[in-house]
Structure 1
Amino acid sequence: MPHDVALIGYGYAGKTFHAPLIQAEPGLRLAAVVSSNAAKVHADLPDMRVEADIAAVLADPSIDLVVIATPNDGHAPLAHAAIDAGKALVVDKPLALTLAEARQIAVHAGERGTLLSVFHNRRWDGDFMTIASAIEQGLIGKVAHFESHFDRFRPTVRDRWRENPGPGSGVWADLGPHLADQALCLFGLPERVMASFGTLRDGAQTDDWAHVVLEYPTLRCVLHAGMLVAGGSPRFVVHGSEGSLIKHGLDPQEGQLLNGQRPGAPDWGREANPLTRHDAEGTGHPLKLMPGDYPRFYAGITAALDGAPLHVAPEQSLAVMAVVEAAAEAARSGVAQPVPPFRL
């Protein structure tokens, strides 16, 4: 029997990512959505149970898993309520507004013995998986410089919580967890974090440009996000002792989900943008990209509900929060920061 799931929130993250990916996982059944806009949910999911209050699904013994996909400032209180109700829990990134809040959630889940994971789906971008494999195989030797960009051209500031002033808003709070998680998967914790944030668009009310450098003993890792990049920039640039890797374009899975495609389609996760390995002589060699695989996250949740280890464990999410917070403090102070303590 599949595990019944309640999705909390049906904004961009809930509608675009979580609902279709949960429905694509055979071991899960999307049984209820908590939303103040039942009409919006029913436009996509006509027969779905919709509740206006989370209390109704937390009191339902048939619900095994709660997925929180609300604005960032709702993550912590909703997570604690779900844990108190004994529900397994997935939280959209970031786990909370601060490292302290995130650690409290992780400690609470540990004390209650409930499953807790965070939706770090970008681990399953096809280009990232291919670059991780190339690094592991030593195709460019010892890595000295890693650069990861989420750059877009959105010159008009939109009226949405991510771009309005307030806790959890801004481009770094939005995209920083993705960038940091990928870097930590590859290289582990840095020694120091340097950062600069900017508010560059006309009418912008929170940061819309972020440039972060993770310092390792023999490696520099650049994480960058900007909203005024017409024509795009390289998604990844990786330089090593025996060559380089260059990749343009974003993984297609988010766009496919927005366009109504679903996992299992023949071209799911496949993109035309090449990954190029440049050898020591500068000659370019195309590397075939692995297809992206966001469904692997919820397949891992199903397996974890049945006793397997989590793909994204709580301490890994705390490490991401520690790096995100160190970068914010470095940008505020103008001084490079160590990664704050985070371990359980």
Structure 2
Amino acid sequence: MANDDKLSVVDCVQHLLTDDMFLAHVPLEHREEAREELASLFNQLGTEALNAERRKVSLFQAGLDDSGYPYLFRLHSIVRDILTHELPPDAMEAARRGMQFAQETIQRDGGQTFELLLKQLGRIAISPAARPIDRALSRLALYHLLRMVLAIMEHQQKGDLAFVGVRDDDLDKLAEGSLQWWMEEAAADGDDGLRVINFSIAACMSRLTEHVDIFKVELARLDADHVRLLHQRKEIVAHAQSMTRRDDLLLSNLFAPLFGKQRVSISLLRKRHPMVLGDYSDDALYKQTERIKTKLSEGTPPQRTATSSLLDAAAAMEGTVRPLPSDEEEI
């Protein structure tokens, strides 16, 4: 890959999307069309990310604004939905093969291809010479990559983060804040010598550890009702993580007030998560919500098939993010 500040994000990603990797499932005669569609999508995302930057709107905030930033809005929900959505057996097997191939490729070249891609994205993110739309798009790509890493870590915690008051929104903000910290450090350093993902993950873990340490002190001052609330949060998150993504979304919405959020209508929930809920009617989802409530009251919450999501598969692979050193028992 050329060492050029004018290299575009599309160039970077297309370097990784070789015929043997992520486009292997696309027939040869359609791969050029697939790349063109990918470039068009990147252009839309980059335009919205750049508009958000110019308006001083964070990527997290833009991802929640379906009217102002429709492409960023869809991407924000789809990233987590893709990771946690239950896949049919044939799709899950294909995903496992793809992950295994990627892992073998990384092991074969020492991770140089992936590391080079990240380094190029990092260079573009802080380069004054890069096109503004490419700078914005590279930051967007790195932000969502960090979100995915933190989602895997959250999954491994099995509700422990919820117990200490950390929600998925907090992790998203943490990902963006840590990426911003990296960009400031890299710009001050005068080059791209800092490894963007490694630095940002370390920053995330450092801040989470600080949060846990502060929480340990505050926990001793909480009354019994507040402690009971924290245990309820942990239990709900643990249940949600063992369910299908559909039931996870319904359960999380049902207990939104428990986490300081506002419950939304089934229609709005479907709009926010079309990939998971789009094929169901409002009535069907309402009835499923009632079934979940009944199952919870009976002590038999619904569960998905073991390792049926990308997040399950990723978390089971060697080299995933390890849990925080502090757990509830230590607290």
Q: Which has the higher helix share?
A: 2
The structure that is strand-richer by fraction is 1
Report the TM-score when normalising by structure 1: 0.27
Query: Relative contact order (C-alpha < 8 Å, sep 6+): which is higher?
Result: 2
TM-score (normalised: structure 2): 0.28
